[in-house]
Structure 1
Amino acid sequence: MKLAVVGGYGVGMTMRVPSFPRPGETVSGGNYAEGPGGKGSNQAIGASRLGADVSLLTAVGDDRRATRARELWDREGVGHSHVARTDSPTMVGFILVDDEGENEIALAPGALHDLDESHVESFRGAIRDADILLVSMEVSLNAVSAALRIAKEEGTTSVLNPAPAIPLPDEMWALVDVLTPNQSEAAQILGLQAANDRPVSEIVDQLRERTDAAVVMTLGRSGCAVLDGSGFRTIDPFSPERVADTTGAGDAFNAALAVAIGAGEPLDDAALFANAAGAYAVTKHGVIDALPTRQHIDRVMGR
């Protein structure tokens, strides 16, 4: 199956610390590593490892980080002929991971803010030829909207991973076929306050009122919830062998979900497959090393 991906590429600078520092506090004893990241690139690589024919649209600078990106995409079999090069630096992310495997991330978008509707329009052919368009929100809202609009015009099923999350404009809701927030992101895209304190049932009720899109909402250790025309139900999680790092779980989940939907799997089966991908990902440090192959997922699922 063919997958078109619109999203970010950047370099992740990760420090593993005993605990997250409080404001004004310095925490010592960290270990540092640097490697490729960005949701668009991660999801494209994840889908390629699962056998998809992937085309990626993102933006990078004219710098050594961009050269390394192209080398990575070549190794991973990700098509990158449409990737834009701009005068801004390639995106950088700063990631803290604590001893429990939880993470906090701050981004300096750089070139990603230069990606505009004209770049997306040049990607129309890839979107038209794809079975699925997978979009994340490290690029501008204009670029996200353009990608979703083109998918609607070309009859390509769209999957929007609304991360980093901001309230979605009213006109964007109607363009999405499948929405994949986590619980906090779901509240944020709805414009709700105190996102982490909202029960799932309340968020689901508001999603029903706002969109006809199918929703696959990740729930961390509890698996995920699915909302579509057949109603609302939860999809059981898989228990990971250990939790080393949750950083790559969302990207592994979205890549696997998009590939399974594109292959014609029913949504519940696709969500279960994606749960297994996420369960594998949390057992590995970093993101690229955490993106599973089909053999890894089959092992998690006991197949």
Structure 2
Amino acid sequence: MRVPRAPEAGETLTGYDFATHPGGKGANQAVACARLGGEVSLIGRLGNDAFGQVLRDGLIAEGISDDTVGSDDRAATGVAMIMVDDAAQNRITLAPGANAKLTPAHIDAQAGLFDGAAMLILQLEVPMPTVLHAATLARRHGCPVLLNPAPATSLPDAIWPMIDYLVPNETEATLLTGIIVTDPASAGEAAKRLLDKGVRNVLITLGSQGVLLANGQGTEHLPAFVVKAIDTTAAGDTFIGGLAAGLAEGMSLSDAARLGQRAASISVTRHGAQPSIPYRAELNS
């Protein structure tokens, strides 16, 4: 729902309009990666309901096989309620539904996908034990691991050394490090702390302030593309999709991040989650 501002506690606020769109961090990132040039498989769970069918149809339309996405008769499809204000900022609450039913056994059943894969992309809308198990399996197969630590929460110590690319936003980086991240300088401090935990590359997204890259070779700040934003929903997911697609193609970290930034700069000029994600050909138009 688009609103002029977030309502106060107990306040009823009249908004502008309401729409439903396919979403979910894992699905958004899968769609973004596919639209931006990647060959993608998604492991997940959907409810056996109307929302689930819409999401499944959307994946198939993007060339993402639904063979690895199970249906759960005892849980609803995960949903998110999103408010987008006049400043294009979003506030999101979610009900995990079938996402919370994704288990390590479901990952093991698709272990063949890890052979020769260029990247495993993980988020935290599925249970932490499943995330940790998937990262462990990826490392066993020599598959690089990208973790988007969202929704923001603490991480188990065991996962840090398995992460090749950690991509938090300001809020997530603040929670993970205790350093209040507001700009590239504070992001650099937070990134150093994350590298000290064993992560190989850290990319902290800073919205209109761009992205801070950090690894053992140093840090680099990539300014944002200047656009008129109307809805930031799925911008981070779009960035991750472009980053992963670029890295899979053999791009440098900086070039892959710029690809992600360019795609995200287009997504924020459009409404919705997956409907806002551009195709690769649009990046040069």
* Fold-level similarity (TM above 0.5): yes
Aligned to 2:87: 100
What residue is the counterpart of 1:124 in the other structure?
A: 111
Number of aligned residue pairs: give it.
283
1:84-233 to 2 correspondence within 5 Å?
84-86=70-72, 87-190=74-177, 192=178, 199-233=186-220
Amino acid in structure 2 at the alignment position of 1:149: T
The question of 1:26 aligning with 2:12 is answered yes
Match in the other structure for 1:52: 38
1:251-285 superposed Cα distances (whole Å, 9 cap, x missing partner):
11000000001111010111111111111110001
Where in structure 2 are the equivalents of 1:232-271 lying within 5 Å? 232-240=219-227, 242-271=228-257
TM-score, normalised on structure 2?
0.95
CA contact (8 A) 2:32 2:242 kept: yes
1:193 Cα deviation after fit? 7.4
List runs of 5+ in structure 2 lacking aligned partners: none
Offset, 1:177 = 0.7
Aligned residues: percent identity? 36
Which residue of 1 is the match for residue 282 of structure 2? 296
Q: CA deviation at 1:290?
A: 1.2
- Which residue of 1 is the match for residue 25 of structure 2? 39
Rounded Cα–Cα distance in structure 2 between residues aligned with 1:172 and 1:276: 30
Give the match's secondary structure for 2:271. coil
Deviations 1:180-220 (A, max 9, x none): 11121112233x27666993243123223212320111110
3-state SS of the aligned residue for 1:111?
A: helix
Letter in 1 for 2:202: V
Per the alignment, in what secondary structure is the counterpart of residue 82 of structure 2?
strand
SS of residue in 2 equivalent to 1:33: coil
Equivalent of 1:73, from 41, 59, 63?
Answer: 59
Out of 246, 251, 272, which is 1:286 matched to? Answer: 272
Q: Deviation of residue 129 (structure 1)? A: 3.2
Residue identity opposite 1:115 in structure 2: L
Tell me the secondary structure at the aligned position of residue 219 of structure 2: strand
The AA in structure 1 aligned to 2:46 is V
How far the C-alpha of 1:136 sits from its partner, in A, is 1.0
Q: Establish whether residue 16 from structure 1 lines up as the match of residue 16 from structure 2.
A: no
Cα deviation for residue 48 of structure 1 reads 1.1
Aligned equivalents of 2:182, 2:103: Cα separation in 1: 32
- C-alpha contact 1:236 1:272 (8 A) present in aligned 2: no
Shift in Å, 1:170: 0.5
TM-score (norm 1): 0.89
Contact 1:188–1:195 (CA under 8 A) maintained in structure 2: no
CA distance, structure 2, for counterparts of residue 34 and residue 258 of structure 1: 27
Q: SS where residue 56 of structure 1 aligns?
A: coil
